Amino acid sequence: MKNKKLYLIITCILSTSALSTTQASTQCALIIDAGSSGSRAHLYQYDLNKSHFGKVAEFGKAAKLSPGLSIISADKAPDYISELLKKVNIPNSCYSDASKVQFGLYGTAGMRLLSQDAQKAIYQAIRTTLQQQPNSKKFNIFPHGIRTISGRWEGIFAWIDNNWDNAKFRLTAHTNGILEMGGASTQITFHPTTNVHNNNITRINLGHRPISIYSASYLGLGQDQLRNQFLNHTTCFPNGYKLPNGKRSQLADYATCQRSINPLITKVHQVQPINNLIDSNKTFNALSGFSYTAQFFKLQSLSADLLKQKGKQFCSTSWDQLQKTYPNNPFLYTYCINSAYFSRLLSRGYQFPSNATIIPTHTNRDGSNISWTRGALIYLENNPSTKKHLCPHYPAQETQLIKGQNDTHIKKQLSNNQNPYINQAEHKC
């Protein structure tokens, strides 16, 4: 009997010891998406132990601040980041003697448009401001955690988030591709179904699973950047809409607008077709600008033909009538040119098969909002060896605006089918 009791005591001690060594450590991380139109601060809580990276949960909605960080001068950056942080409610449970809140601020397309010197000045001002935080509320900034990331990796991180199984701590068995439409750039990311050599394919390791990812980003083909090239083109806006030059649009014509956009896609930015890299039954999720435009047109799926059908009808309606039908919509003027552009990008740029499944959405399978920031966190914590860098030896940006160019010069280059963005050599992971 005594031996049995002793056995039970020893078993309990060993079980408790084993539990303590594998018990997850709760960690919090604040990841800021410094986008072209505004900054969003996402606060996450997750578990870490030696065997795996645990479930990621976001605290409420992301705190937002407009305009984008790229619009702010370096001397205004301290006030900007302080105002954004005031909007973030970090619970005391995120702070302990053993750890502080992890922190990363990553600029995207808007910051890529700035010179390296301008970027460095803004980031240094932010870093100095964070270092002046009270000791009890200081962040543990990721090494190289305040910087600009490439469009390719922005796409990869969004793809990771969209395909991460939060319950099983791994990628889903069948992954979806993603299409992103931001203000300054657009991305396409997916797992290719064929084994081919392509400069846009990067091999990553996630949850002990090596996988090849195709990710291409086109700086200058974001919806805002593209629309800025056509603000005085009457064919791309409904009749009666007041253009920036003071004139009223009188020649709205969907087909002519599309023909004007074609050279930007095929000649200036040379968008690469992906139809030979995917199966015809591959599903893509269309995010951001794609999703908002689809939502306006009440589209459950996207295709070049559906966008063309809805766009032609919208563009042929007078501006006065549209304002009566859709009052108080600040984005109403964008849907004519957006539909023309998106349709051409899908058909002439990416060359999607006509039967491709493209689903507009804002959410993941678990109902959480899709955000590349969560994907970045998942990647960082799954790859401790690359934690110091979002991608080893990868440049902070793959393209930047040629220094000294103004809007007039840019438009002149575009009219000559020249790309106003300079490509820098990329190094893959």
Mean pLDDT of 34-63: 82
Nearest to 398 by CA among 160, 208, 98, 155: 155
Burial of 380 (0-12, 13-18, 19+ CB in 10 A): buried
Coil, strand, or helix at residue 210?
strand
Rounded to whole angstroms, how far apart are CA atoms 258 and 236?
8
Identical fold between 25-148 and 153-369+396-423: yes
Phi, psi angle pair for 259, to nearest 5°: -65, -30
- Confidence grade of residue 413 (pLDDT, cut at 50, 70, 90): low
Note the pTM of the prediction, 2 decimals: 0.82
Cα(289)–Cα(346) distance, rounded to whole angstroms?
14
Q: What are the tens digits of pLDDT across the range 226-251?
A: 999 999 889 999 999 999 988 898 88
Q: Give residue 408's pLDDT band: very low, low, confident or very high (50, 70, 90).
A: low
Return the H-helix or E-strand segment holding 289.
helix 289-296
Beta-bridge partner residues of 399: 423
User: 76-133: per-residue pLDDT in tens?
Assistant: 999 999 999 999 999 888 887 556 899 999 999 889 989 999 999 999 999 999 999 8
Q: Which residues contact 329 (CB under 8 A, 6 or more apart)?
A: none
Question: Residue 427: exposed, middle, or buried by beta-carbon count in 10 A (0-12, 13-18, 19+)?
Answer: exposed
DSSP assignment string, 318-363: -HHHHHHHSTT-TTGGGHHHHHHHHHHIIIIIS---TT-EEEE-SB
* pLDDT (average), residues 38-45: 95
Which of 42-51, 255-264, 272-281, 335-344 bottoms out in mean pLDDT, i.e. has the lowest? Answer: 42-51
User: CATH 3.30.420.40: does it fit domain 25-148?
Assistant: yes
Give 229: exposed, middle or buried? Use CB within 10 Å, 0-12, 13-18, 19+. buried
Higher pLDDT, 5 or 259: 259
Helix axes 77-86, 116-131, angle to 10 degrees: 50
Of 216 and 26, more confident: 216
Q: Say yes or no to pLDDT of 427 above 50.
A: no
> Does domain 153-369+396-423 bear CATH number 3.30.420.150?
yes
More confident: 156 or 1: 156
Checking if the pLDDT of 397 tops 50, the result is no
pLDDT value at position 365?
78
Highest mean pLDDT pick, 53-62, 155-164, 358-367, 373-382? 155-164
Domain boundaries, the chain: 25-148, 153-369+396-423
